[in-house]
Chains A and B, each alone.
Chain A
Amino acid sequence: MSANTPIDRTGTPLVEMRNMSISFGGIQAVDDVSIDLYPGEVVGLLGHNGAGKSTLIKILSGAYAADSGEIYVNGEKATIDNPRDARTYNIETIYQTLALADNLDAASNLFLGRELTTKFGMVDDAQMEAECRKIMHRLNPNFRKFSEPVSALSGGQRQSVAIARAVYFDAKILIMDEPTAALGPQETQMVAELVQELKRQGLGIFLISHDIADVMELCDRVSVMKNGQLVGTEKVEDVTDDDILGMIILGKKPGAKAA
């Protein structure tokens, strides 16, 4: 286990989602789920495909409107009706699908919806490309394809554009939905280092992943979902990989067998 500095969970959480529910047609995608996140903390979200992880965080990022439940940011009730609202709370999201406009170049995607403009109100492509070069140099020094549409990029390069978009705008709350799915081992390591750096800067991060080892290394707590419901939230130092596996597969809390 990596030497994580202990997280102070006595104050107000950075984010709290209370009793969130949402259904699509007949499917109860998220069913009465409550999770929270403290500054400098990484909370892993685990569960099978279709467990409702992406849907839950899309409520937080403003992509979906919950049927019921409340969101608190820094202890105050937050109204997040669309992605712009989420951005005003400094919530940034790396979506599982990456959500890139394939026909636009890296800089246009990085600034999509928040374009830099000249004093006449025109989009300032040169300025945006310069900023894009700076942040990409930090995240992925090998990145060169600045003037091509992102459809011409490799999976890893596309992923780094999506990550750059979330990191560039001074997020306080970062949502990463399977950020390493398209990456090779070396790039995955770079993301892991990035997560630790951001954590040191005091960001709160929700990290959705398939990989239990990843989560155990990077996260402070894990929340496990199954069939839209929260199985439980545990501190990583209190549980083993097998406990987590049991929660994912059987939907059983580790304490349950002792009780």
Chain B
Amino acid sequence: MTDTTNAPAAPSNPPPSQAARKGAWSRFLTATELDTRLIGMVAALILIWGGFHMYGVLVNGQGFFLTPRNLWNLSVQTASIGIMATGMVLVIITRHIDLSVGSILGFTAILMGMMQVNILPQYLGLGHPAIWIITVVFGIICGMMIGGFQGALVAYGGIPAFIVTLGGLLVWRGCAFLVARGETISPVDATFSLLGGGPYGSVGATGSWIVGLIICAGIVFMIVNGRRQRTKFEFAKRPYWADTFLAVLGCAATVGAVLLVNSYYWPKGIVKQYIAANDLNVEAETLFISHGFAIPVLVLVVVAVTMNFVMNNTRFGRYVFAIGGNPEAAALAGIDTKWMTVKIFAIMGGLAGLSAVVASARLNSATNALGTLDELYVIAAAVIGGTSLAGGVGTIFGAILGALVMQSLQSGMVLIGFDAGMQQVVVGSVLVLAVFLDILYRRKSK
């Protein structure tokens, strides 16, 4: 450890080395205010990634997991679950559950499919630039209305959320089937499909560097601003080295992600198409075009930053936590807990609608089966990410890490050729194990 120079004066009697090491570690945790469970999650992620890669190396002679291509795909696959997981955090913090998100996703995807394929082109003409915007807004509003309706049944009807959304699980899936009459709606609007990722639905090398720099600037700003606030009120500050460490860590992770997505190049087939379409005079073999961040991943980043802001910096977020901690106290403090419940479920529904955008754009079609079983992955992501089912506790970024863990397991198993049955066994077991570990963790820290 290099922190000894900046650490507060050492006690006059140095403790034995074992205790000193432990002391240094817990001092490090206290100083950086890093959560042990967050570190645990990152460790789990590294284990999963390394494990799948090594499995490939040992059994197939080549590892496919830790490649730019796979990790880029992983980021895109995580987007849809991650977007919904940020909303599920709010739902679970307030001691509710939403089992209907996968079905809301399916239904709103069908509604958006009808809108952009069958309805809007009649009035605007095929490929009109407003089609995707109207469709996205329409989808999100539909999701919000469905979610808000369910929230009202919970809040004002007094029906447990478990029952309302279990009913919703069937109702909205059924509606999706009825509206689409079981047919697949495709292809979606060309601009809309970019929201699903793919070579054209990515921002490229330069774009990714710009995004990366903005994120780094944001991290540094938050740390500097935090220091300034604490200085202004003369509160105890994190040590300089801890703030520096956090800033460097955050920026390094961001730059690493940019380097990674920029080292995944367009497939040669797409490059040839691109050369032909733009009449370029180059050989496909010599032209390397980076994917960069996929648009759905950027959507997830924007959603995460927004939701994190809402939870930590607005009254709404404060009330979500208060209701989760003690619903009666929240009501006595003058918070309209019922209306809050409606709003929370509406946000969840709206995010399911946004996920439907990403998911149907990625498939370039809408089917009534889209999002099946997603509710389980979303709930698992939130819970693995540290959202307590007892209410009152949870973080947005934790849930996104949780989504990444779930998706890593899922695509890792596909990569090494586990069959569907085995995948379900593993995912189900991991969920139960994660909740058990969570219970142990909380018992210990009590």
Listed in ascending order, the chain A residues whose CB lies under 8 Å from chain B are: 61-63, 82-84, 87, 93, 95, 97-104, 108, 112-115, 117, 121-123, 126-127, 129-130, 149
Contact = CB atoms under 8 A, between A and B. Distances in A.
B206 interface: no
A166 to B, nearest CB: 12
Contacts of B232: 126
Given A99-B328, A117-B315, A122-B314, A112 B235 contact: no
A127 B234 CA distance: 11
Chain B, interface size category, equals 20 to 34
Nearest to B228: A126
B332 A115 contact: no
A87 B233 contact: no
Interface on chain A toward B: helix, strand, loop, or mixed SS? loop
B228 to A, nearest CB: 10
Interface in B195-245: 229-230, 232-233, 235
A67 to B, nearest CB: 20
B333 A99 contact: yes
B322 A83 contact: no
A230 B121 CA distance: 74
A103 B324 CA distance: 8
B328 A97 contact: yes
A102 B314 contact: no
Nearest to A84: B334
Contact of B318 (A83, A84, A97, A123): A123
Contacts of A108: 318, 321-322
Given A101-B392, A102-B325, A113-B333, 17 more contacts: A62-B334, A63-B332, A83-B333, A87-B334, A93-B332, A104-B318, A104-B322, A108-B318, A113-B335, A121-B314, A122-B313, A122-B314, A123-B314, A123-B317, A127-B233, A129-B233, A149-B325
B24 to A, nearest CB: 22
Given A108-B318, A117-B315, A126-B230, A83 B325 contact: no
A101 B313 contact: no
A103 B311 CA distance: 14
Contacts of A115: 315, 318
B334 A113 contact: yes
A116 to B, nearest CB: 10
Contacts of A112: 318, 322, 329-330, 333, 335
A82 B325 CA distance: 20
B383 interface: no
